[in-house]
Amino acid sequence: MSFPAKISTALCIVLLGSTTTGAAEVDFQRDLLPLLQQHCLDCHGPDAAESDLRLDNLTDALRGGDSGEAAIVPGQSDRSYLIARVLHDDPAQRMPPDSERLSDQQIELLKSWIDDATSWQGAEAELAGRRSDHWAFQPLVRPEPPDLHSAAVRPQPGASDDPDAADEHISNPIDAFIIDRLHSEGLSPSHAADRRKLIRRLYLVMHGLPPTPEQTAAFLADQRENAWQRLVDRVLASPRYGERWATHWLDLVRFGETHGFETNRERPHAWRYRDWVIAAFNDDQPYDQFIIEQLAGDAVGADVATGFLVAGPYDLVKGQDTQLRLIQRQDELADMINTTGTAFLGLSLGCARCHNHKFDPVTQTDYYALQAIFAGVEHGDRTIPLDQPTRQRLDNIDAEVADLHQRLTNLIRSHNETSAPTVLRWRQPVDAALNEESFPAIEARFVRFTIAATNQGQPCIDELEIFSGTDSVGLASKGAQATSNGDFEHPLHKLEQIHDGRYGNDRSWISSHVSGGWVQIELPRPRSIDSIRWGRDRHGKFRDRLATDYRIEASLDGDHWTTIASSDDRLPLAAETTPPTYDFTHLPPTQAEQGQAWSARLESLLAERKTLAESAVAYAGTFSQPGPTHRLYRGEPSAPREAVAPATIAALGDLRLADDTPEQERRLALARWIAAADNPLTARVIVNRIWQHHFGEGLIDTPSDYGGNGTPPSHPELLDWLAVELIESGWSLKHLQRLIVTSGTWRQDSRPHDRGLDVDAATRLLWRFPPRRLAAEGIRDSMLAVTDKLDATVGGPGFSAFEVEAENVRHYFPKTDFGPDDWRRMIYMTKVRQERDAIFGVFDCPDFNQVVPKRNRSTTPLQALNLLNSPFVLQQADFLAARLQRSADSDAARVELAYELCFSRPADDQEIAAAIGFVEQAGWPALARALLNANEFVLIP
């Protein structure tokens, strides 16, 4: 065949419903392509380039149009969208438009053209080799910093009183790039800020807290040449650094501690991911490892980090309609894909869910290839491995608890006149994964497991194994039969799975009774049995529905039963912190006092054990091997198309994964591809985010969209230099932070001047440091710091800003009274979706439902009213007043201390006089309230 280089007149009729000037053969580029393009314009208007079925060139016909459908699948006409449209029953959808249906001969001709696969090899090769020329997708190359020595430009009038100020700002290559751009616009950098302003700026940006008067005084007194560098190192070494910068990351990954939607239930173990992020920043974890652990931490010993995958909202209420459930699942996966794309790659991958991306080289097939990577991820708590120190401590606690139980039991029974002293050996608490019951051998044909209580809900057992020595005799495959007094109806949990030899939650049985339920196994014949093994979930993913009060009985005839094991001799479950009650009233005083001491120690140990054991649970998602993933036509679950293998964006890379690649390996492969040094996006994205949080605006002002719909960088060479520098430093974010804050650019004064405002009113070129208001967290935390009420405890469960009405649908009511539990840093405030803190939430806090790469900066009357009149601020004003009064002996000294605490500077004589006059009229709390409401208090200078 001559297709596709030469195409017959009949093909023109098929495609266009018209012919050319009568030539026997038609050249595609010369004759057919213009007609195809005109056809698109006639049928679809000027946006034809993005039409549903693109045939304006062969390569695009292979790639597909908006819908993601490939118009031509070489060698497979039955899968080609063009044929589907030619054969469509709906005239409005059928091609050619406004024409009679093609004849069978014409359709066969068209199919033959498509089925000649060899003729398409050139177009396929072109498509495979196609690469975007967009700047963000180009390889990273370190540019040379500009040489400014030969072309120094003095500051513009008003920019500085020092004619040589520009030279002072070339502290590192950052300054060379910035000053070179300023020169090109006829601008120069501003004078360096004074030391008081610099230390306040540093602490507010890096810690979200003001420096103490003592820290300010120490820096002012340090006259060493490297005083600033030493201060920067101390600030980066503080745990306050991780708390501040983790807030930015949690915004970006839509972290919340409730599920959202209508029920908005709590996630009591979600905070562990927040603590992991804080620790990662404080430890300067390499950013490439930071990425890998969040996507596949379970593969590299960082299980908590996968909380990233499930940090978003989750609809607990699943619809009865199958289609609705499929849509809910698609939404869950879309959240994971979108967040991964925006956070790490700066790409809006969600745009390709229903069609090929309109601006970026991301096809709908790419989207579903990524979905295949996340398809095995489900929301939920997961048991995570304990670290060695915690495991050792738990072992020590268990040993001491067993010893105390033994002592207390023997102490009481030794003074019980009605019975002889008895030594009772306590066993470990029940374990959700596996429990072994050993007993003297007994002849039995029936074994019954009865559950009186669980830690939550109806009891669940994933396998009940009966042993005669090493022989498992209770398997269904060996003829044993299972019965029960009631089964919970659920497609996953079935009675026959109680002894099928397979483990895990999805191979388990659940009783229909919360208490009193039993399951029984009848052996094919009487056997001598000596041990039984059972568990809630051998895979360790589920810990609910665990039998905590139970007995196991054996019988030869099914009527007469003997108890062979029970929970009576087990220690309380870790979740149970109340030890057995011991009565010491009948004991002599000395023994009673000893018993009370042992009992108190026992209670303390069980409480500690509960806290430690709970560290083994985190809201970090659960994983299972997924089935096939299909591309969905227009994103509809009811319209699956071809299956797709797990992969990444084809235009940017290839993971080379097979369809049946294990679930964990899929996520790990994607993580490593994103974190690779040759990925053109990853380093560019994170250095821009760091820059944004220093200067209020990134070098790219669309920080999560580096694609065709985003904005180009203001300083492209600087962006690439920083990205390469980050990679070559070992992906150290603290190295990047140190470079930025030690640059002359960062240390400029923030005062404006006319020339700068005329040329660059938004300060994108950084002719001065851009001042801005603190975020909500910084305002609240700073108040607590200056009133001396800030609880600096790092990590652990947070505190709530709400009183919670714990109905099925949670209701959250803002607190009106505040105590020490509420005085921790705001990052530890439980993040309730769809709700904001009633006082500081109005300062543009996110609602934790969507990724927030950049917060808004609004100014509203409600902000002013909350800072002036809210109970929290009034309370803190009283605390500040009390601190001033107890810390200084005179009114003038109190005012000076207030200014040092709130503004990091001394008050001048006029301010002192005005403040004292105000205090005489309104009192110290009123002055404290005014200071906490001052612009200077909430401003990053």
Whether the per-residue pLDDT at 40 is higher than 60: the answer is: no
Task: Give the percent of the chain with pLDDT over 70.
Answer: 87
654: Cβ–Cβ under 8 A, 6 or more apart, which residues?
Answer: 647, 648
Radius of gyration of the chain (CA): 35
What pLDDT does residue 452 have?
94
CB-side exposure of 484: number of CA atoms within 13 Å? Answer: 26
CB 395 within 8 A of CB 574: no
H or E element in which residue 605 lies: helix 589-614
Judgement on whether residues 455 and 514 belong to the same structural domain of the protein = yes
pLDDT digits (tens, 9 = 90+) for 249-294: 999 999 999 999 999 999 999 999 999 999 999 999 999 999 999 9
Among 585, 559, 557, residue whose Cα is nearest residue 415:
585
What average pLDDT does range 883-897 have in this prediction?
A: 96
3-state helix, strand, coil in the chain (%, to 5): 45, 15, 45
Of the pLDDT bands very low, low, confident and very high (cuts 50, 70, 90), residue 22 is very low
**Residue 388: pLDDT band with limits 50, 70, 90:** confident
pLDDT at 770: 97
Which pLDDT value is given to residue 414?
A: 64
- Residue 836 maps to a domain: no
Q: Identify the bridge partners of residue 622 per DSSP, sorted by sequence position.
A: 378
Q: Are 170 and 148 in contact (CB under 8 A)?
A: yes
pLDDT tier for residue 688 given thresholds of 50, 70 and 90: very high
Q: What is the mean pLDDT of residues 97-123?
A: 80
pLDDT of amino acid 616? 75
**What CATH number did the domain enclosing 905 receive?**
1.10.3130.20
In this prediction, residue 580 has a pLDDT band, given cuts at 50, 70 and 90, of low
Total structural domains in the chain?
5
Distance in angstroms (rounded) separating the CA atoms of residues 925 and 919:
8
Are 744 and 168 within 8 A, CB to CB? Answer: yes
Q: Using one digit for the tens of pLDDT, what is the confidence trace for 150-174?
A: 544 444 434 443 333 444 467 899 9
Q: Which amino acid is at 850?
A: Q
Let me know whether 377 and 408 are in one domain: no
Check whether residue 509 and residue 637 sit in a common domain. no
Residue 460 inside a domain? The answer is: yes
In a domain, 518, yes or no: yes
pLDDT confidence of 18, banded at 50, 70, 90? very low
Q: What DSSP state is assigned to residue 486?
A: -
Across the chain, mean pLDDT equals 87
Ordered DSSP codes for 361-384: S--HHHHHHHHHHHTTEE-SEEE-
- Please give the average per-residue pLDDT across 22-42, as a whole number: 44
Residue listed under structure tokens 């930071």: 290
Q: Which residue from 794, 800, 792 is spatially nearest to 829, judged by alpha carbons?
A: 800
Backbone angles phi, psi at 653, to 5 degrees: 180, 180
Helix (H, G, I), strand (E, B) or coil at 245: helix
Same-domain pairing of 25 and 120: yes
Boundary (domain end) residue, out of 130, 152, 185: 130
* pLDDT for 32: 43
Phi/psi zone of residue 420: left (φ > 0), alpha (ψ -120 to 50 degrees), beta? Answer: beta
Any domain includes 28: yes
Model pLDDT for residues 710-756, shown as the tens digit of each residue: 999 999 999 999 999 999 999 999 999 999 999 999 999 999 999 99
pLDDT for the residue 77 = 84
Please tell me whether residues 432 and 493 are part of one structural domain: yes
pLDDT of residue 147: 87
Map residue 264 onto helix, strand or coil. Answer: coil
Q: Does residue 445 lie in a domain region?
A: yes
Q: How far apart are CA 125 and CA 139, in angstroms?
A: 22
21-29 contacts, C-beta under 8 A, 24 or more apart: 28/4, 28/58
Q: Helices (H), strands (E): how many in the chain?
A: 30, 21
| Residue 581 pLDDT > 50 | yes
**pLDDT of amino acid 372:** 96
What letter represents residue 600's amino acid? Answer: A
pLDDT at 99 over 80: no
159 contacts 183 by C-beta, under 8 angstroms: no
Q: Which of 69, 101, 130 is the last residue of a domain?
A: 130
Please indicate, yes or no, whether residues 335 and 389 belong to a single structural domain of this protein: no
pLDDT at 759: 96
Verify that 67 and 124 share a domain, yes or no.
yes
Please enumerate in sequence order all residues whose Cβ is within 8 A of that of 153, keeping only pairs 6 or more positions apart, or say none: 166, 179, 182, 183, 188
How far apart are alpha carbons 813 and 837 in whole angstroms? 10
Task: State mean pLDDT over 664-675.
Answer: 97
Q: In this structure, what DSSP letter does residue 177 have?
A: H
Percent of the residues in the chain that have a pLDDT greater than 90, as a whole number: 66
Q: Are residues 26 and 111 in the same domain?
A: yes
The amino acid that residue 345 corresponds to is L
Residue where a domain stops, chosen among 674, 696, 717: 674
For residue 23, pLDDT over 50 is answered with no
Paired sense of beta strands 547-555 and 435-454, if any:
antiparallel
Give the CB-side neighbour count of residue 140, counting CA atoms within 13 A. Answer: 22
225 contacts 795 by C-beta, under 8 angstroms = no
Q: Do you find a cis peptide bond into 286, omega within 30 degrees of 0?
A: no
SS (H, E, C) 290-338: HHHHHHHHHHCCCHHHHHHCCCCCCCCCCCCCHHHHHHHHHHHHHHHHH
Of 625, 667, 621, 623, nearest in space to 647 by CA: 667
| pLDDT confidence bin for 107, thresholds 50/70/90 | confident
| Strand, helix or coil for residue 336 | helix
| Amino acid code (one letter) for 774 | L
Single out the residue of 453, 449, 677, 419 nearest to residue 545, CA to CA: 453
Please check whether residues 586 and 608 belong to one and the same domain. Answer: yes
Average pLDDT over residues 775-792: 97
Whether 24 shows a pLDDT value over 70: the answer reads no
539 is a domain residue = yes
Does a structural domain hold residue 786? no
The verdict on 421 and 478 lying in the same domain is no
Q: Are 357 and 465 found together in one domain?
A: no
Q: Encode pLDDT of 229-242 as tens digits.
A: 999 999 999 999 99
Higher pLDDT, 123 or 473: 473
Average the pLDDT over 442-446 and give the result.
97
Band of residue 132 on the pLDDT scale cut at 50, 70, 90: confident
If you ran DSSP here, which 8-state letter would residue 342 be given? Answer: I
Structure token digits, residue 918: 């105000």
As a whole number of angstroms, the distance between CA 614 and CA 612 comes to: 5
Residue 296 and residue 671 in contact, taking contact as beta carbons nearer than 8 Å: yes
* Tokens describing residue 289: 């490892």
**In terms of residue numbers, what domain contains 635?**
286-381+623-674
Q: Looking at residue 128, what is its pLDDT?
A: 67
Domain assignment present for 567:
yes
- 628 shares its domain with 597: no
Q: How many CB atoms lie within 10 A of CB 846?
A: 21
The CB-based long-range contact list for 917-924 (8 Å cut-off, 24+ gap) reads 919/891, 923/881, 924/881, 924/884, 924/885, 924/894
Mean pLDDT of 846-872: 93
The dihedral over CA atoms of 390, 396, 399, 402, expressed in degrees to the nearest 10, equals -70
Residue labelled with tokens 């601008």: 187
